[in-house]
Amino acid sequence: MAKRNKNDLKIAQEDLKKIYGRDWEFFQKKILNNCYCGNCKGPYNATITDYEIFLKKLNDILLSGKCKTCGGPVGRYLETSEVFVYAEAIEKVRSKYEAN
Ligand SMILES: [Zn+2]
């Protein structure tokens, strides 16, 4: 699992929603419910809950939360930097935080 580091920018759920745009529904249905939990040890079918969202330096996103089933730690790494259509929204979110 990718780890957090000090350069990660914690962002809000509304920011993530802006980044995903039309893919928001896909994110909620397919990503949140397809995480890997080391305790439950199934395939990638754990649901992440109570998660925090971090924007990595290279524009990937890390979700850090808990498994809905067992409460164990669950992380999900999203390679948003590889998706061209997300780039503009990511830069807007980043500049909003870095302006403060
Ligand atoms: Zn679990």
Distance 49 CA to ligand 1 centre (A): 11
Q: What is the pLDDT of residue 3?
A: 72
Beta carbons of 19 and 93 less than 8 angstroms apart: yes
* Model pTM score: 0.91
Q: Is residue 76 part of a domain?
A: yes
Beta carbons of 31 and 76 less than 8 angstroms apart: yes
Q: Is residue 59 part of a domain?
A: yes
pLDDT over 70 at 2, yes or no: no
Distance 78 CA to ligand 1 centre (A): 19
**Mean of the per-residue pLDDT values of the chain:** 93
Q: How many residues belong to the chain? A: 100
* Terminal CA-CA length for the chain: 30
Q: Which helix (H) or strand (E) holds 24?
A: helix 24-26
Distance 32 CA to ligand 1 centre (A): 13
Q: What is the pLDDT of residue 58?
A: 93
Distance 93 CA to ligand 1 centre (A): 31
Q: Is residue 27 part of a domain?
A: yes
- pLDDT band for position 1 (cuts 50, 70, 90): low
- pLDDT band for position 41 (cuts 50, 70, 90): confident
Q: Is residue 33 part of a domain?
A: yes
3-state SS of the chain is CCCCCCCCEEECHHHHHHHHHHHHHHHHHHHCCCECCCCCCCCCCECEEEEEEEECCCCCEEEEEEECCCCCEEEEEECHHHCHHHHHHHHHHHHHHHCC
Q: Is residue 85 part of a domain?
A: yes
Number of domains in the chain: 1
Q: Is residue 1 part of a domain?
A: no
Distance 44 CA to ligand 1 centre (A): 11
Q: What is the pLDDT of residue 57?
A: 92
pLDDT digits (tens, 9 = 90+) for 78-92: 999 999 999 999 999
Domain that holds residue 86: 9-98
Distance 48 CA to ligand 1 centre (A): 9
Distance 4 CA to ligand 1 centre (A): 20
Q: Is residue 4 part of a domain?
A: no
Q: Is residue 3 part of a domain?
A: no
